[in-house]
Structure 1
Amino acid sequence: MKLIYTATFAFFLFSSFVLSINSKQTLLISNLENKTGKLFIGWYSSKETFAGKNPEFKKEVDVRNLSEISIPFDDIPDGKYGISIYLDENNNGKMDLNFLGIPKEKYGFSNNVFPATRAANFQETAFEIQGKSKIIPIRLK
């Protein structure tokens, strides 16, 4: 009987480990318009990290004369995330804005949300990762 309990416990322990394996996610970023610069990509897991621009995962990717690009992110744990991206065309390390605060460089968010008078928030950009690899399309504006 002790052997059955031990085997059952080992099975459930192994099952829970297998179910929590991180997955590979690929961003498909489009509408680059053959521009040159560096994409700054951030993955956020809460409204606090999203508002504070403190990403759990980030990448900087050089682009040159492309209309779209696929960018893999390995080992993303299951959870809720929002993604924010901007294309730094002049390589100054920041999103350039005009005198009204409107972005002068291309940007985008997961779920392809673009509110008319403000930046997207975490709730609008949030989506779930649940153990399966997938392609996440993001169109820059």
Structure 2
Amino acid sequence: MLFLVSLISFLSSSISPVASSPKTSLTIDIQNIRSQKGSVYIALFKPDSGFPEGNPVEGKKADIKGSNAQTTFSIEPGEYAVAVFHDENGNGILDKRIFGMPKEPYGFSNNFRPRLSAPKFKDCQFSVGTSGRTISIKLE
């Protein structure tokens, strides 16, 4: 019995609350917006989250200002990829042509331009350190 009490005492004293990781900022500047109509949607992905059409860790809708839009995420340092599209007609989805080609302007981190299929996470991957980061994405 004394062993059990000692074990419980040891476990309760050695378990500390899990500290949340420090947050940093990721600013995304979207460029080459050709129309003032609609909004720009930004999806932030971590590895193994189904990039670019899976479940982003966070998403935002940004207002257009001139030919640019900008938003900032508060995130943990790490590896990320971003997918962006300009919802010109305001229906909340990326409209596509036959064979799945986008009708509306889109872009990816690293300004990766896919040829015949959607990009892979590693094509668009970038690191965000503790001091934060700003990236630019040019819509196509």
TM-score, structure 2 normalization:
0.78
- Could you say which residue in structure 1 is the equivalent of 2:41? 40
Please give the alpha-carbon distance, in whole angstroms, between the structure 1 residues aligned to 2:48 and 2:138: 22
Per-residue CA distance 1:12-48 (angstroms, 9 max, x = gap): xxxxx8xx52111111110101331111111110234
> How far off its partner does 1:52 sit?
4.8
> Which deviations, in whole Å up to 9, do the C-alpha atoms of 1:42-67 show, x marking residues without a partner?
11102343255201111012326x21
Per the alignment, do residues 30 and 52 of structure 1 end up closer, same or farther by CA in structure 2, a change over 3 Å counting? closer
1:71 alignment partner in structure 2? 71
Q: Which has the higher strand share?
A: 1
- 2:64 counterpart SS class: strand
Residues in 2 aligned to 1:134 and 1:109: alpha-carbon distance in whole angstroms = 16
Aligned residues: 121
The letter for the 2-side match of 1:57 is: E
Greater C-alpha radius of gyration: 2
Please name the residue that 1:29 is paired with.
Answer: 30
Q: Secondary structure at the match of 2:50?
A: helix
Partner of 1:98: 97
* Letter in structure 2 aligned against 1:70: Q
Which 5+ residue runs of structure 2 have no aligned equivalent? 1-18
Equivalents in 2 of 1:123, 1:72: separation in Å? 22
User: Percent identity, aligned pairs only?
Assistant: 32
1:111 partner amino acid? N
Give the alignment's TM-score, normalised by structure 1.
0.77
Q: CA RMSD in A?
A: 1.8
Instruction: Structure 1: state its 5+ residue gaps.
Output: 1-16
How many angstroms apart in 2 are the aligned matches of 1:31 and 1:23? 27
The aligned runs of 1:10-29 (5 Å cut-off) are 20-29=21-30
